Amino acid sequence: MTEAKLDFVANPSEWRGTEIAFEIEKKGDKTELRFTHRGLSPSYDCFTNCSSAWSTLVNGNLRRLIETGKPQPSPW
């Protein structure tokens, strides 16, 4: 992340310098998507909210986008 503007924590740029990685692996007739936010530390103010937000985006919006091909609205 080269920029971060989190408006709900004391340090709005605490994500700066972290890295988001997606790994895709074929497993039989299925595909596994592994998502990692490297550097997102439990010591960050946003950790709890951000961790669950990534789950919402990946398991909700991204999944629906893949299944329907239609853009998804922001969950917040």
pLDDT in tens, 7-52: 889 998 898 899 999 899 999 999 998 889 999 999 999 898 888 8
Domain presence at residue 7: no
Who contacts 44 (Cβ-Cβ below 8 Å, separation ≥6)?
A: 9, 14, 15, 50
Helix (H, G, I), strand (E, B) or coil at 24: strand
Question: Looking at residue 75, what is its pLDDT?
Answer: 75
Domain presence at residue 27: yes
Average pLDDT over residues 59-65: 89
pTM of the model: 0.70
Quick one: DSSP state of residue 3?
A: -
φ, ψ for residue 70, nearest 5 deg: -105, 140
Domain presence at residue 36: yes
Domain presence at residue 74: no
Overall number of domains in the chain: 1
Could you give the CA distance from residue 49 to residue 7 in angstroms, rounded to a whole number?
12
Domain presence at residue 51: yes
Domain presence at residue 4: no
Question: Looking at residue 67, what is its pLDDT?
Answer: 93
In terms of residue numbers, what domain contains 25? 19-68
